[in-house]
Amino acid sequence: MYKLLCQLFLAVVGRNLPEEVFEGTLYWLLQGKRKKRQIIDLNVKQFSLTTPHQLEIMGWPREYIDAETSKGINKVYSIVKCKMFRNIFHTEWIGEVPKAYHMPCHRYIKLWSHDGISKARVILYFNTREALNKTKSLISFHRQRNDKFEGKILSYKLETKDRSHMSCCYFCAKFMPCLSERLHTNDRNADIFDNIRRRSSSVSWNQDWNNNLSNTPICVECHDSKERQGHYRMNMFNSRAFIFGEYGDPLSSSERREYNIRDSIDTEKPDMTLIPHCDNYGNHKTPLDYTGSYARLIDTYSEFYWHPELTADEYMRLQEHKMLKYLGNVDPLDEDDYPEDDPGEDLYDDYDDPDDYLNY
């Protein structure tokens, strides 16, 4: 089946099918009913059109989500693709002359209903970060809308959120189209998964899509490689820099590097000359294995904080030393630490003669 899908993928988009896409998404579709299998071709096309630069537009009024044009096209879909939307939100003007266009290369629109409430997800994909930022600023400037709709004035406010970081590896910033597709097609608010990742918890304990979406996005190469984790330590994505608006580009290596260095200024670098050499790390193959949580690696208050100036080997040696030191300081199981039993009150003596039970 994988070879067959590779041929289909090659015929449709001109590229081979990434193995991670098959294992992470298409495999699950093949396990479902025939109706789900019929959308595989559509998903293959979606993979070929998605890019790392993703902007979600929110704030659509329910009237638009529920309405259709005279041609039977959803109103939100019609608006996003119309000429007026392009002129307002994708075009820079000098007077009445267009200076530059910043058009998305792909639009993804999903409509669904939850508890009787109609919802819409609109995501624009761009080929460059500059085009995304320009559209984002234009929407922010023109976000207050007062449109005529069915004989009345409809007032609403459009909002934007950059979703680019949610589909890229938190170590190396590699784009993962498989994760991107599952994230945006899911019937949940994207903010839920972003919050879950920062808390290092899960929205589902089942082996389903929601479980995968709730995990911190780390590509297979970085997850299994000590060398890659060490190489990209200075570029590790810290959501605080993006959430609190310190940087406008969460995928910029230079800004990631700058923030990670600044964040570690008040944290003393461990003196590795005091840490003995270590040849055996047990079952720990990478720094991530010591904590299992990406959030702890970048938390300056955590016992597992990875100082940016430490190499991967130094970090693992330090954590191994902490573990051995902790085990060495654990109190032994000494009987003197326990109070003496009172035979008069103890009705169930664990040290009775075994013959007493055999003769019962």
The CA-based angle 317-319-320, given to 5 degrees, is 65
Q: How far apart are CA 249 and CA 271, in angstroms?
A: 34
Question: Exposed, middle or buried: residue 214 (CB in 10 Å: 0-12, 13-18, 19+)?
Answer: buried
In 3D, which of 170, 171, 176 has the Cα closest to residue 198?
Answer: 170
Residue 341: pLDDT above 60? no
Residue 60: pLDDT above 80? yes
Quote the pTM value. Answer: 0.73
Count H helices, E strands: the chain? 19, 8
> Which runs of E-coded beta strand occur in 150-197?
152-157, 159-162
User: 238-260 burial string, b = 16+ CB within 10 Å, else e?
Assistant: bbebbeeeebebbbeeebbeebb
Tokens coding 357: 């039970």
Residue 130: pLDDT above 60? yes
Q: C-alpha distances in angstroms, 267 versus 145, 300, 303?
A: 47, 7, 12
User: Which residues neighbour 88 within 8 Å (Cβ) at sequence distance 6 or greater?
Assistant: 138, 142
Half-sphere exposure of 283 (CA within 13 A, CB side): 4
Question: Which of 12-26, 113-127, 151-165, 311-325 has the weakest average pLDDT?
Answer: 12-26
Q: How far apart are CA 49 and CA 125, in angstroms?
A: 8
Query: What is the enclosing helix (H) or strand (E) of 300?
Result: none
Query: What is the enclosing helix (H) or strand (E) of 30?
Result: helix 27-30
For the chain, give the percent of residues with pLDDT over 70.
Answer: 69
pLDDT at 358: 44
Asked if residue 124 lies in contact with residue 85, where contact means CB atoms within 8 angstroms, the answer is no
Residue 359: pLDDT above 50? no
Q: How far apart are CA 11 and CA 85, in angstroms?
A: 33
Stronger pLDDT, 357 or 28, i.e. the higher one = 28
Confidence of residue 90 (pLDDT cuts 50, 70, 90): very high
User: Which residues neighbour 250 within 8 Å (Cβ) at sequence distance 6 or greater?
Assistant: 162, 164, 165, 237, 241, 242, 256
pLDDT at 356: 47
For the chain, give the percent of residues with pLDDT over 90.
Answer: 28
Asked if residue 320 lies in contact with residue 284, where contact means CB atoms within 8 angstroms, the answer is yes
- Of 44-48, 127-131, 174-178, where does the model show the most confidence? 127-131
